Structure 1
């Protein structure tokens, strides 16, 4: 599986170079997809095509945010799950927090993952041998002595869940009052990788898609962290999650998670 990690890294590096140059110019035009919060640019489509071109070998099939998933792959087939720009809104607004996410899955089991930050050059990756940051073993920062000192990162509550469940704002209030900091980065892949590194102690994700989390959730687990979905089946197919950095645990976020699963 190390070959899959290398393939994904090589594809992501080429794409990251182009994205970094585009971001530096500030000339990015966006349109909307499903709603006014869901932005897309020509770069999303270009990068997905570029990554697909680099990985198109050995009968592999693709599941991309922009092109979708035509059919479930035959048994034993490599399926590349691609988010060309995770954090498009940040990319559009000139906020330097976005990433390229590539996961390799076989029979709905992720076996390699890569998340690359084009701005900082951070390359998170993992395969069966472990998790890496820029090809060095990925290790987490020390665990804070108490969960009230945790740095919680979350996109909850987003507009979609507030529309269907306005009471979600009360749960958010519990998180804000309990944890030391609550941050909103708008790049799910980077958020989970930050948990793998221990920069984020806990990440709470709601209404996510497979391309958002496939690579990063695998990287987190290979780094020794935990990824809870509360449902059976492949974890990257679940819509909600709680990600813990290595050595972290917290009862409050799990209670909030159980409640939001019914919203």
Structure 2
């Protein structure tokens, strides 16, 4: 029977492998950035993909399954591949593809590891800054240094990062969605729409932003970063379903008093 110490040690190995996999593709992403590229679209014009997304995911998946044979991999671009082992990896090779494709330096590679339905390890790398956020069951780190999610207490002084409202939020609910967004803009000192859920969550974990909200996200968007936030002492509130991979989330630092954010979440659940 494995002990808690065994599980922590295993999570640390998984986190180290996730970090290695993010670094594996970083040079190629930096080289491609602002170099000109063809862009295709998946569901609609709001959902771009490039050859670099697909190439990075292929390289990452190969490394993960080499280090942990039998792993299952759930990737944004290549879908789910079920293995015989106990580890499932959630891979977003470029979270923030629209930014990457247009030359806006706010995107990342995100890799999380799940055991028995529990997220136990993750890594998020911003290849343009070199900021590597990692977490396992013993804590969270930024470039190897312990991470604490702290910041301002009052929303009126706080920075909120959000993708809300996205086009899907506006479809059929434009008036209420815009009213909800107006409430956030009015209540928070600063609201920004940077375009990467994983990197926005990582900034909350570091205390560089105070809160973030995402809607209609996928599991690979948040698998690693939600663990990083929580292991750094911040709060992660998934809603809209069951389990850690809810389609909507709100997150905030250990210090923030999220009155408006809590009301926002409640309104969206009605």
Q: TM-score, normalised to structure 2's length? A: 0.91
CA distance in 2, matches of 1:70, 1:113: 19
Structure 2: runs of 5 or more not aligned: 1-10
Deviations 1:169-198 (A, max 9, x none): 011011111110000010000000011011
**Is the partner of 2:88 in helix, strand or coil?**
strand
* Residue in structure 2 matching 1:62, options 69, 73, 78: 73
Runs of 4 or more, structure 1, over 6 Å off, are none
Structure 1: runs of 5 or more not aligned: none
* Change over 3 Å in CA distance of 1:70–1:60 after alignment to 2: closer
> Contact 1:152 / 1:181 at 8 angstroms: preserved in 2?
yes
> Contact 1:109 / 1:234 at 8 angstroms: preserved in 2?
no
Which stretch shifts more, 53-62 or 40-49? 53-62
* Residue in structure 2 matching 1:159, options 163, 167, 186: 167
CA distance in 1, matches of 2:141, 2:153: 26
**Is the partner of 2:22 in helix, strand or coil?**
helix
> Contact 2:149 / 2:229 at 8 angstroms: preserved in 1?
no
> Contact 2:153 / 2:255 at 8 angstroms: preserved in 1?
no
* Aligned pairs (5 A) from 1:242-257: 242-257=250-265
* Residue in structure 1 matching 2:125, options 106, 116, 123: 116
Partner of 2:177: 168
Are 1:238 and 2:246 an aligned pair? yes
CA distance in 2, matches of 1:178, 1:58: 49
CA distance in 2, matches of 1:97, 1:229: 23
Tell me the number of residue pairs that the alignment of Structure 1 and Structure 2 aligns.
257
Which stretch shifts more, 7-16 or 85-94? 7-16
Partner of 1:14: 24
CA distance in 1, matches of 2:123, 2:105: 19
Q: How far did residue 203 of structure 1 move?
A: 0.6
